[in-house]
Amino acid sequence: MFIPTTKEELKFLKWNQLDIILISGDTYIDSSYNGSAVIGKYLISQGYKVGIIAQPDINSDKDITRLGVPKLYFGVSSGCVDSMVANYTATKKKRQNDDFTPGGINNKRPDRAVIKYVNLIQRYFKGENKRPILIGGIEASLRRIVHYDFWSNSLRKSILFNSKADYLIYGMGEKPILEFSKAIENNTSPNDIRGLCYISNKPKNNFIELPSFEECKSDKYKFIDAFNKFYLNNDPLTAKGLYQKHDNRYLIQNPPAYHLTTKEIDFVYDLKYEKDVHPFYKKDGIVKALDTIKNSVTTHRGCYGECNFCAIAVHQGRTIIQRSEESILKEIESIASEKNFKGYINDIGGPTANMYGIECEKKLKLGSCKNKRCMFPNTCKSLKPSHKKYNSLLTKARKIKNIKKIFIASGIRYDLILSDKNFGNKFLENLIKYHISGQLKIAPEHSEDNILNKMGKQSKNVLVEFKNKFYELNREYNQKQFLTYYLIAAHPGCDENEMKKLKKFASKELRVNPEQVQIFTPTPSTYSTLMYYTEIDPFTGKKIFVEKNINKKYNQKNILINSNNFRKKRRYK
């Protein structure tokens, strides 16, 4: 069953009025990879009548009023990506294509979509039709406190203030949104729900105060202090509530929602998803994203890699929340039994595929360490990496009827493989023999320790060791497969000299001319973005170089992708 998006569907279901209407910046794909679909299906499973309006026209009422007035509230999300990231490149050029829009043309998702959608609702639902507005998803989650916005080159207030929504749910939303729905239904205050933010006229007792919006604007060290406190209070086992003054009012952030258990996350992913675009939107054209996610399977949420340029730790969390082997295999069997299945699973993983089944027992009991990371500067001994469980899962998945090949397209942490002395080598063997075709993409990002330290990445020596082991095993198994490398230009701390060193390393040690090179994009709520704005290393307090000139950012990228020198050298080898 699709979640209804038309009046005809409501009539068919004999639903006179919806309880909740969800608004999304993505088209409606009924898939576990679509946050609005997950939340919608989950709430329906709990007895609520839910509808979805995807990519509504913000210049008229034709879409936003299509399903009438909800009984309880509106839920708003920009979609799977922050709308500014979806709409603009790292050099602020407008993106022409959108994989989450029918037809692929980027003309349906407005800039600052959460704010625009809230304003749209408020424009057409007034008086007796006014309902609470709850915002969520990645755009709301990562902009929930005072944050640097690259596209306006300024600090912005919490999106809860700028949107004028009533409430905000951050992180993974199943638990808090169910509690919120019950509170609104019972006409009780939701203000004590974990994972919820709201606006108050006064601070909350026993919560940690963050430097105010005005303090952050006037003093970059205050902004660093605010972000540090914010970042360190994201684990539900250790986090305190926060508050931050905006003018004469306060943003209140309750402690994070508790993680789902394996049983609970199995329930969410075992819900019946159509794995297709809703017919109402499908008629408008092909949705490219469907090609990737249709036959892909999520194994877990969360990532303890904590790369400083990545926001997963703030949004999904630093703890691996994994599905059971039974739930995952059941989903693969379901995909493999479909009439038009060609035999290929596109992906079986999570934010970092090979973190499935690997987690620190101490963290699971006591929460994340405040002054220590699992993977940086080296792999923590307390983590005790073991790919045994992931190897077992993959072996069983390969034996399922109609399966020809299962690809692992999610990120792989090669340093995690090397740290696993018992099962890491076996996992790499399986990867090479069964789960890649032609190439394996990995993300070292850079080669120079000065930059890697600012990225929160391990030394290039680990990369070289992995590269040698990868090609050694390829020769052993008579495979002609190769590594491709994701690299970043113009990360805070990086100048042209550092890029020249990276170019030399890539040519001499990796024997490649890099092609997968992206210019660093400062996205909300990451340490790298904090460095970009403040030009200060938040871990040392020292000033650092930050390239902010767009042409010079291109120069850094071009140093890597210019192939002339590389080709000349290759002729003499």
374 annotated as ligand-binding: no
Distance CA 382, CA 361 (A): 8
Residues 82, 524 contacting (CB under 8 angstroms): yes
Across 225-247, b (16+ Cβ under 10 Å) vs e yields bbbebbbebbbbebbebbbbbbe
Helix (H, G, I), strand (E, B) or coil at 199: strand
Listed in sequence order, the DSSP H helices in 147-219 are 159-163, 174-185, 213-218
Query: Closest Cα to residue 570, out of 498, 517, 506?
Result: 506
Dig out the tokens for 224 from the structure: 């660093």
Query: Closest Cα to residue 29, out of 294, 277, 269?
Result: 277
Distance CA 153, CA 548 (A): 10
Contacts of 551 (CB under 8 A, 6+ apart): none
Dig out the tokens for 533 from the structure: 């704005």
> For strand 405-406 and strand 344-345, is the pairing parallel, antiparallel, or unpaired?
parallel
494 annotated as ligand-binding: no
Return the beta strands (E) in 438-553 as ranges: 439-445, 482-489, 517-519
CA-CA-CA-CA torsion sign (503, 504, 510, 512)? positive
Tell me how far CA of residue 453 lies from CA of 291, 493, 496, 497, in angstroms: 36, 10, 17, 17
Dihedrals phi, psi of 346, to nearest 5 degrees: -70, -30
360 annotated as ligand-binding: no
Residues 98, 40 contacting (CB under 8 angstroms): no
Dig out the tokens for 215 from the structure: 């303090």
> For strand 347-349 and strand 296-298, is the pairing parallel, antiparallel, or unpaired?
parallel
Number of helices (H), then strands (E), in the chain: 24, 22
Q: Which residues pair with 252 in a beta bridge?
A: 198, 243
Distance CA 324, CA 261 (A): 10
Structural Rg of the chain based on CA atoms: 24
Dig out the tokens for 396 from the structure: 């069983």
Return the beta strands (E) in 439-481 as ranges: 439-445
Q: For the chain, first and last CA: distance in Å?
A: 60
Contacts made by residues 55-58, CB under 8 angstroms, sequence distance 24+: 55/24, 55/25, 55/26, 55/27, 55/101, 55/108, 55/109, 55/281, 56/23, 56/117, 56/120, 58/110, 58/116, 58/117, 58/119, 58/120
Tell me how far CA of residue 471 lies from CA of 178, 433, 570, in angstroms: 49, 12, 19
Which residues are part of a known binding site? Answer: 303, 307, 310
Which residues are part of a known binding site for [4Fe-4S] cluster? Answer: 303, 307, 310
